[in-house]
Amino acid sequence: MVPLVLGIETSCDETGIGIVRDGVLLADAVASSVDQHARFGGVVPEVASRAHLEAMVPTVQRALATAGVALRDLDAVAVTSGPGLAGALLVGVAAAKAYALALDVPLYGVNHLAAHVAVDVLEHGPLPEPAIALLVSGGHSSLLLVEDVTRTLQPLGQTVDDAAGEAFDKVARLLGLGFPGGPAVDRQARDGDPAAIAFPRSMLADPSYDVSFSGLKTAVARWLEKHEGQVPVADVCASFQEAVVDVLTAKAVRACRDHGIDHLLVGGGVAANSRLRALAEERCAQAGIRLRVPRPGQCTDNGAMVAALGDRLVAAGIAPSPLDLPADSAMPVELVVA
């Protein structure tokens, strides 16, 4: 019998429940509390935790109904145990323990970043390993070397200040575009000129694989102050977005070249960005690198990614986590299973 794996994701503001069997996605139910955070301009941890608690059981039930399976059919439970918001993670980890204990099935506490990488198998089949992964979201911006997603991810570089998605959210806020800002900036940028304003490409020339977006955000703020009252929103969005994706794609392609690796995987919420997808496609084609990016709905946080990784872990015979598994808000990326 091929194992049926439940995945639970609660590291931020999405309660995600996925069900996967042998690399096939059977259900992906998401309840988002994003509307409750909008007026604060960012995710409020306490509000997110409470929303997870309320959404957990109904979302699990919705996923089971979609997959046409019952709780007793599950063979393993995987849950994001870090990194993320401590209180939010705790709700998912507690629920996963309860399900695993009640059903007497193994529990896997998994790394959120590894799950963002693993989700791609659902759409594009087995991961090409080794691969370089560029993970960009509201909480992280990392370049990783992936030799075996079930064992460890090797960090090559990360942001030294703001995450890429955080920069999108902050710039959107400066422009009064609402929260989350990424999709709004992406939409506005379509009608703008990416070369209209020469925003800085921080750390582009730096030999490390690290990135930095705080200076860019400040440059946008200064520009807006200076041009108050006559701001071409579409041009600001397009020029800011171009600066972000220029640096990200340049560093990702360089990481592939330096390591002699011809597969690049892009994931995380910012991978939903249309310009990042287009420029990555263009630069990878030029460099002879094969690009894999999940469809936008699977780039943002969801339960399918956790179930997809759980499914790989079970198949690889990786030992499960103990039932006293903690939620680890600072879980290191090298650790795939806690």
Q: How far is the CB of 23 from ligand KG4 (least distance, A)?
A: 22
Stretch that binds ligand KG4, among 1-9, 69-77, 134-142, 318-326 (CB under 6 A): 134-142
320 scored as a contact of ligand KG4 (CB under 6 A):
no
Contact by Cβ (8 Å): 245, 279: yes
Task: Build a one-symbol-per-residue string for 239-278: x at contacts with ligand KG4 by CB under 6 A, - elsewhere.
Answer: -----------------------------xxx-xx-----
Q: How far is the CB of 94 from ligand KG4 (least distance, A)?
A: 20
**How many of the chain's residues bind ligand KG4 (CB under 6 A)?**
19
Residues of this chain, 286-315, that bind ligand KG4 according to CB under 6 A: 300-301
Q: Which of 7, 87, 165, 310 binds ligand KG4 (CB under 6 A)?
A: 165
Task: Build a one-symbol-per-residue string for 179-218: x at contacts with ligand KG4 by CB under 6 A, - elsewhere.
Answer: -xxxx--x--------------------------------
Q: What are the DSSP calls for 196-220, one per residue?
A: SS----TTTT-SSS-B--HHHHHHH
Q: Report angle CA 111, 252, 165 to the nearest 5 degrees.
A: 60
Do you find a cis peptide bond into 332, omega within 30 degrees of 0?
Answer: no
The residue written with tokens 């931020």 in the block is 12
User: Rounded to whole angstroms, what are the CA distances from 173 to 83, 164, 169?
Assistant: 25, 14, 6
C-alpha 276/C-alpha 237 separation (Å) is: 13
- Determine the residue type at 176: G
When the beta carbons of 106 and 138 are compared against ligand KG4, the nearer one is 138
Q: Which of 16, 109, 138, 157 binds ligand KG4 (CB under 6 A)?
A: 138
169 scored as a contact of ligand KG4 (CB under 6 A):
yes
When CB distances are held under 5 to 8 angstroms depending on the partner's kind, the choice from Zn ion, ligand KG4, none that residue 270 binds is ligand KG4
Q: How do beta strands 141-148 and 152-158 pair?
A: antiparallel
Q: Note the residues at the interface with Zn ion (CB under 5 A).
A: 137, 301
Q: How far is the CB of 114 from Zn ion (least distance, A)?
A: 11
C-alpha 48/C-alpha 37 separation (Å) is: 8
Give start and end residues of each alpha helix (H) in the chain: 34-37, 45-67, 86-103, 112-118, 120-124, 164-174, 181-189, 214-226, 233-259, 274-287, 296-299, 303-315
The neighbour count for residue 283, using CB atoms within 10 Å, is: 19
Q: How far is the CB of 1 from ligand KG4 (least distance, A)?
A: 33
Q: Which of 10, 33, 80, 137 binds ligand KG4 (CB under 6 A)?
A: 137
What are the residues binding ligand KG4 (CB under 6 A)?
12, 137-139, 165, 168-169, 180-183, 186, 268-270, 272-273, 300-301
